[in-house]
């Protein structure tokens, strides 16, 4: 599954992993905002990796949780859906707007294979210092380069390079972002 190979969606082992994630998600999502230590503990148990200074606002929805790594100082706003059938890697200092979806699962086009419950997945990688605006959807197999900004409501179906602004459905690059190194060099 995590390697991108086809799998049967209702496998008993996966069902147990999904139940674990549902219970930990419920604990995180219902923890009091007045008890940040309990919230962080639930999140740390749910996710594969959790960097220092990460803030995730509830509710958060995941498939398994253990396939997600979030880098230091990243902020995830309300209503995130991270379907981690394959690995989801989120860099440091990332800003994720409300209702963002990171979707790794894929499904066969052929009706017989779908009916038989075959699925697969492709990983998602979000580079350092990326900003995903509200309602962004990132599709399976996508990598977004560092410092890139994705406008609200965009649907990212293909990789985006570093240091660009992308908008739309499907997301397209509309301009480059000049970095401090660019301005120092010339």
> What global pTM score does this model have?
0.93
Tens digits of pLDDT across the chain (186 residues): 666 788 887 889 999 999 999 999 999 999 998 899 999 999 999 999 999 999 999 999 999 999 999 999 999 999 999 999 999 999 999 999 999 999 999 999 999 998 998 999 999 999 999 999 999 999 999 999 999 999 999 999 999 999 999 999 999 999 999 877 665 555
Domains identified in the chain and CATH numbers = 7-185 (2.160.10.10)
CA-CA distance, 5 to 1, in Å (whole number)?
Answer: 5
Q: Verify whether residue 68 is a known catalytic residue.
A: no
Q: Shortest CA distance to 21 belongs to which of 78, 68, 73? A: 68
- Among the listed residues 22, 107, 141, 162, the single catalytic one is 107
Residue found under tokens 């660019």 = 182
DSSP of 80-144, one letter per residue? EEEE-SS-EEE-TT-EE-TT-EEE-EE--SSHHHHHTTEEEE--EEE-TT-EE-TT-EE-TT-EE
- Whether residue 148 contacts residue 162, with contact meaning beta carbons closer than 8 Å, is answered with yes
């Amino acid at each position: 599954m995590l390697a991108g190979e086809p799998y049967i969606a209702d496998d008993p082992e996966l069902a147990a992993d999904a139940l674990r994630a549902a219970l930990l998600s419920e604990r995180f999502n219902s923890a009091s905002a007045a008890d940040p230590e309990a919230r962080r503990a639930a999140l740390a148990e749910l996710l594969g990796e959790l960097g220092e200074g990460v803030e995730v606002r509830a509710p958060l929805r995941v498939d398994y949780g253990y396939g997600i790594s979030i880098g230091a100082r990243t902020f995830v706003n309300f209503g995130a859906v991270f379907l981690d059938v394959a690995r989801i890697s989120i860099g440091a200092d990332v800003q994720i707007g409300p209702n963002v979806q990171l979707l790794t699962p894929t499904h066969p086009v052929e009706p017989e294979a779908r009916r038989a419950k075959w699925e697969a997945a492709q990983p998602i990688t979000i580079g350092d210092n990326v900003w995903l605006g509200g309602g962004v959807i990132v599709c399976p197999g996508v990598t977004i380069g560092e410092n890139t900004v994705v406008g609200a409501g965009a649907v990212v179906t293909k990789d985006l390079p570093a240091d660009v602004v992308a908008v739309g459905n499907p997301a397209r690059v509309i301009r480059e972002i000049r970095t401090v190194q660019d301005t120092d060099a010339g």
